[in-house]
Amino acid sequence: MPCTVNADIVAVTSASPHGIRRTCPPATAQSMNSPPPLSWRPDLSQRRGPLYRIIAQALQDDIVQGRVPPGTRLPTHRDLAWDLKVTVGTITRAYQEVERQGLIGGEVGRGTFVRDPRRLAEAPVDAAPPSGLVDLSVNAPALWPDGPSLRAALAAVADRPDLLSAMAYLPQGPLSMRTSLARWIAATGGPEIAPERLLLAPGGQGAMHAAVAAVTRPGDVLLVEQLSYPGIRPLAVQLGLRLVGVAMDDQGVLPDAVEQAARQHGARALYVMPTLHNPTTVTQPRARRETLAALARRSGLVLVEDDVYGFLHQPPAGHALPTLAALAPEQTLYVSSVSKSLFPGLRTGIVAAPPVLQDKVAQVLRATVLAPAHLGLAVTAELIDSGEADRIVARRRALVAERQALARRILGERLYGSSAAATHLWLPLDAPWRCDGFTRTLLEQGIKVTPADAFALARGEVPEAVRVCLCSIDGADCLARALERLATLLGQPAQLDQALI
Ligand SMILES: Cc1ncc(COP(=O)(O)O)c(C=O)c1O
């Protein structure tokens, strides 16, 4: 049979002959006596790790993905143990794990039942909220499918041997947790960073602040892409910096324009998003990155590389794109967070600085936050160490693929220049639509998107376009209706404002 079961670890050596859910082990003389069919049986064929955990993960996935409906009475510990040829204790432990996530519950004398996973969502945004507004203006991840993973991690954190170290006055948290984080950053497309060099900040915003503050002085100019993440604006105000926008093309910021702006304004730093730029979704190709890195090395310009969406970029094998931090490590401050890949509420952000800037960044962090809240780091490390973080990322990528396919069915070639790997769309408008008028008219119809001018943080030309976030609402039906309304409006003539005389 394709399944080999050790005391604690299971490994499957070949797939089921039917290519579908595997029953493990096979029919034996005993099963020919036709015991009643089990209401649930795990497919362990692709799973590796301790038996109790992979059984728990299989159950969790089957419940969350709707393969085991709410109300199902699960097999007894004894029946499932016999069926899988494992100990009753293994099944008890697996069920306990899933019970801790709130996905199943025992009823004395009746058995163990599957609960409705949707009930666990704190605030499901399944359809339009009571206000009727469908908010596609926020680039937040849809969290409800990941509630069980978070619950399990929270429970497991209590047993971590490094938990108390995380609660001590360690500015950067325990090395064990930083090691997990550094490994995961590299595994999800980021640069290789020695754990000792990983500086922790409260979220991506805190990381951006620490990085920018370390390399600028009040009165300085900070270069930004012509359209950029609006979170940099309050930060610049706080630090007394003036933002200067640099022209972009369909491959990202233009190196010649960067060089010229840096010279003209005496700027020391550029804040830049090379991968899945927010809002345009552009990913800089390798050549553009190399030119920017060479420019930074030559001119002394510091690059503050924001990579919060990097984990969504999945190049074909052999075509991975280097980060700017990998190309110009001595000139780049790499900032990221787990807000888009895991949970914004963990506030786990990071800065990796070149050795000469490491102390400066650490000083800013010491002055502003002393040490970030390491409970978030502990949960992040637990999600990574248990493998749940990879599973969450896989779900996030699958959701992006699903939602982008839906958007492409409805909006067709209008999305030509917008990357299918992003959590949002960048949608150019046909004349005479202007982004403010289009956004206002759409809002009157109950749909909120963001006009391009919200991302124009410095003087310069603003394209007529809107950003539409796809993954922040739960219901695909609701999203489809909103996108259909949006497509209809795009095809209608704009109501031109009355001429002023
Ligand atoms: C490009 C970019 N950088 C940074 C952030 C902030 O990240 P965090 O939520 O971790 O503070 C965001 C949030 O939307 C973002 O889009």
| CATH code, 111 | 1.10.10.10
- Kindly tell me if the per-residue pLDDT of 2 is higher than 80: no
> Domain boundary at 387, 403, 422, which?
387
* CB of 203 closer than 6 angstroms to any ligand 1 atom: yes
Domain total of the chain: 3
279 and 159, same domain (yes or no)? yes
pLDDT at 34: 65
pLDDT in tens, 475-498: 899 999 999 999 999 988 776 554
Nearest to 345 by CA among 99, 125, 146: 146
Calculate the average pLDDT of the chain.
88
- Kindly tell me if the per-residue pLDDT of 13 is higher than 90: no
pLDDT in tens, 107-134: 878 899 998 876 654 444 444 445 678 9
* CB of 117 closer than 6 angstroms to any ligand 1 atom: no
- Which residue carries 């419940």 as its tokens? 63
Kindly give the distance from the C-alpha atom of residue 340 to the centroid of ligand 1, in angstroms, as a whole number: 8
**What tokens were used for 409?**
């069915």
310 and 423, same domain (yes or no)? no
**What tokens were used for 35?**
């015991």
The contacts of residue 393 (CB under 8 Å, 6+ apart) are 188, 311, 341, 342
113 and 142, same domain (yes or no)? no
Kindly give the distance from the C-alpha atom of residue 204 to the centroid of ligand 1, in angstroms, as a whole number: 5
181 and 255, same domain (yes or no)? yes
* CB of 278 closer than 6 angstroms to any ligand 1 atom: yes
For ligand 1, atom 4, name the residue with the nearest CA. 204
CA–CA separation, 500 and 112 (whole Å)? 71
CA distances to 21, 29, 94 from 4, rounded to whole Å, are: 16, 19, 19
220 and 297, same domain (yes or no)? yes
Nearest-atom index, ligand 1, CA of 337 = 10
Neighbours of 32 (CB within 10 A): 8
Q: Is residue 436 part of a domain?
A: yes
CA distances to 54, 100, 147, 280 from 154, rounded to whole Å, are: 18, 10, 11, 36
Q: How many CA atoms lie within 13 A of 128 on its CB side?
A: 13
Range of the domain at 69: 3-120
* CB of 338 closer than 6 angstroms to any ligand 1 atom: no
Beta carbons of 432 and 495 less than 8 angstroms apart: no
Reported confidence tier of residue 35, pLDDT bands at 50, 70, 90: low
Phi-psi region of 458 (alpha: psi -120 to 50; beta: other; left: phi over 0): beta
16 and 58, same domain (yes or no)? yes
Give me the CATH number covering residue 460.
Answer: 3.90.1150.10
For ligand 1, atom 14, name the residue with the nearest CA. 139
pLDDT at 142: 82
Q: Is residue 33 part of a domain?
A: yes
**What tokens were used for 194?**
């020695």
- Which residue carries 């990796």 as its tokens? 352
pLDDT at 429: 94
Residues in the chain: 501
**What tokens were used for 58?**
């299989």
pLDDT at 120: 57
Give me the CATH number covering residue 183.
Answer: 3.40.640.10
**What tokens were used for 136?**
């596609």
Reported confidence tier of residue 179, pLDDT bands at 50, 70, 90: very high
> Domain boundary at 356, 387, 418, which?
387
Ligand 1 pocket test, candidate residues 139, 143, 205, 208, most atoms within 8 A of CB = 205
pLDDT in tens, 235-250: 999 999 999 999 999 9
E strands, 194-326, where? 198-202, 221-225, 242-246, 248-249, 252-253, 269-272, 302-306
Least-confidence region, from 43-47, 192-196, 223-227, 335-339: 43-47
- Which residue carries 């997990």 as its tokens? 180
In degrees to the nearest 10, what's the CA dihedral of 247, 281, 140, 371? -60
Q: Is residue 497 part of a domain?
A: no
Nearest-atom index, ligand 1, CA of 207 = 11
Beta carbons of 172 and 398 less than 8 angstroms apart: no
230 and 353, same domain (yes or no)? yes
Strand (E) or helix (H) holding 290: helix 286-299
Q: Is residue 191 part of a domain?
A: yes
372 and 394, same domain (yes or no)? no
* CB of 231 closer than 6 angstroms to any ligand 1 atom: yes
Q: Is residue 499 part of a domain?
A: no
Q: Is residue 496 part of a domain?
A: no
Kindly give the distance from the C-alpha atom of residue 3 to the centroid of ligand 1, in angstroms, as a whole number: 44
Question: Is cis: bond before 202, omega within 30 of 0?
Answer: no
225 and 115, same domain (yes or no)? no
Taking the model in full, what pTM does it have? Answer: 0.79
* CB of 202 closer than 6 angstroms to any ligand 1 atom: no
> Domain boundary at 327, 357, 387, which?
387
pLDDT in tens, 253-297: 999 999 999 999 999 999 999 999 999 999 999 999 999 999 999
- Which residue carries 């010649």 as its tokens? 256
Q: Is residue 129 part of a domain?
A: no
Neighbours of 316 (CB within 10 A): 6
Nearest to 424 by CA among 305, 312, 306: 312
* CB of 306 closer than 6 angstroms to any ligand 1 atom: yes
* CB of 308 closer than 6 angstroms to any ligand 1 atom: yes
Q: Is residue 362 part of a domain?
A: yes
CA–CA separation, 380 and 372 (whole Å)? 13
107 and 167, same domain (yes or no)? no
380 and 421, same domain (yes or no)? no
160 and 142, same domain (yes or no)? no
Taking each helix axis as running N to C, give the angle between helix 147-157 and helix 51-64, from 0 to 180 degrees, rounded to the nearest 10.
150
The contacts of residue 113 (CB under 8 Å, 6+ apart) are 71, 72, 73, 74, 104, 105, 106, 107
Kindly give the distance from the C-alpha atom of residue 205 to the centroid of ligand 1, in angstroms, as a whole number: 6
- Kindly tell me if the per-residue pLDDT of 72 is higher than 60: yes
CA–CA separation, 435 and 449 (whole Å)? 10
* CB of 337 closer than 6 angstroms to any ligand 1 atom: yes
Ligand 1 pocket test, candidate residues 200, 283, 306, 308, most atoms within 8 A of CB = 308
Phi-psi region of 386 (alpha: psi -120 to 50; beta: other; left: phi over 0): alpha
Q: What is the gyration radius of the CA atoms in the chain, in angstroms?
A: 26
Ligand 1 pocket test, candidate residues 212, 235, 313, 340, most atoms within 8 A of CB = 340
**What tokens were used for 29?**
């003389």
* CB of 204 closer than 6 angstroms to any ligand 1 atom: yes
CA–CA separation, 256 and 159 (whole Å)? 54
Nearest to 74 by CA among 49, 87, 55, 89: 55
Task: Write out the DSSP string of 358-372.
Answer: HHHHHHHHHHHTSS-
